Structure 1
Amino acid sequence: MGKHADPDTLLLRMPSLRAVKAFVAAAKYESFTRAAEALCVTQAAISRQIRELEAFLGAQLFVRVGRAVELTPAGAIFFEAAQMSFVNIAQAADRIRSTPVHKHVLTLCCSPAFSAFWLSHHLPEFRANNPDIDLNLVATQNFVNMEPGVEPDIIISKIPKVAEGYKSYPLCHDVIYPICTPLFLEQHPDINTLEGIRDAALLNLSPIGRSGVAEHVDWGVWFAFQNIDLDERPACAPPILNANDYSLIINMVLSHQGIALGWNQLVEGMLERGVLVQPVKQQMTLRNSLHYLACRENAVDDEVGSRVRDWILSKFER
């Protein structure tokens, strides 16, 4: 005898998906007739499905305006949720249908900054050498409480034990130093000293909204490490810009708007290409914390998972 399943309250509370599909089409086209044409059914079928949905919800969803229909307040609430759900379902179906059987899909999760500045620099090489692997990249700052359905094979973060079922490998310490463009340094030669940098146009990474990140280093912390008091900036110094988006700060640096702190693993490629420079040699190394690569344990021995893992580890060996 099969195992008895308890009633699923969530599924029992769900209306008919066929009725919801008819509703979404009618709301999108503001017409039962056009909805019927789009779904290749009769107008009577659309009307019947919407009547059944309204009866299920106990609310009117449409009002007639001439030959068209408009959503009621209740209909607008339901359309917003239903439309987004159908978009998610359609996109997931497209990913499944469009993935060739010989392709291997691996989900990699990391911070937006790591994705923008490290992965974007190294991915062309990986994709050229691994054409049979499709990487699904998920950028987030919240590695502990991810969205439902996000189950990464590999996570790159500063959390030693990101979740059960993952094996962690150390990648690197944070090495942090000032960065600017060669043009900005040429225009402001006085920033070749710590005091000159302190008094210059500083672009500061704010901790606001970054609670999911480990320790935070801003200009105040960095200067204190160098025994420099940021509060001693003269009144005539340019205002400090604060932003919690590292991509914005780097883009402002690249457009010669000021000096920012550079995390070595993120900016070393731009330094090597000469796009950025270090106006001073002083730096700060956080030796009490590391970045980690966390690999799902069932992917450790998987040929594809181990290939991606070993490729990332090889980039940090030096």
Structure 2
Amino acid sequence: MPIVESTYKPPFQFKNGFVATVYSGLFRKVKGVEQNRERIETRDGDFLDLDWSYATSKSDAVIILLHGLEGHAQRPYITGTAKLFNTNEIDAVAVNFRGCSGEGNRFYHSYHSGATDDLDDVVQHCVQKGYSKIYIKGISLGGNITLKYLGEDREIPSEIKSAIAISVPVHLNGSSKELHKLKNKAFAIRFKKHLVDKLKVKISQFPDSISVAEINSIKTLKDFDEVYTAKAHGFKDALDYYEQSSSLQFLKNIYVPTLLINALNDSFLSPECFPVKEAKHNPNLYLEMPKFGGHVGFIQKGKFYYNEQRALKFVIGL
């Protein structure tokens, strides 16, 4: 599929990727979204908290929303999409990954960039609830999970009609290297603090799985993946985790119409995160690379962000 030419033009002050990223993450507010929480059991005995918001009338369509690293279902980039789709008669179910809903999960392992079974459990739950049209939108880490899920060797329910992935580190090792550069130091420190704080809570629950010394050895995000993510989820080390979980290798197998929007000035993304070759060889993969947007910072005039309106247009147009 030819590369999609982007029409995104941000206000002048948000052409800077850092400014767009920070404003969107820390200052954006979305009002008027009423969410109702539902807890479902996962196939391995854990739980997921789902936050539902609904169209004004009964709908047979739903969009599944997946947040990014250490996000949750109340983040503006989730509720903004939910509000837009609800006003266009599509229900929304925002997934809180394990340990991200305000309550720790039951196991030592939790969620990571390649953990797709939980998404499949949510999809099956939506099918069982009677939705005949299911869309998926993943942001950052959630986008990687979305793309990997769609390209894996698994049966994708026919109810899934399309998907959208935003600001996705499809090559995790490359993105990890970018996050460790000076330009992203503030973001890396913030991510690491949230992750380590959660891990400290797990010591009392699982004293045989992690020690204080191991936690104290975590100085970088990659250290966290070495000490926790890889070991807790069955990978040899951080590099093995990155290699197995990157969605880049799965893009060629996607047959559900899928839109990937990665901004060229997203400081989290490495050159490998712009899969031009894969998009050109897969008629179902639409790659849009706006010049601006930062990381999930597609600000424009009005209530909704460009990526949100673009997602709705992509869904409705199919």
TM-score, normalized by the shorter chain, greater than 0.5: no
TM-score (norm 1): 0.28
Q: Which has the higher strand share?
A: 1
TM-score, structure 2 as length reference: 0.28
Structure with greater Cα Rg: 1
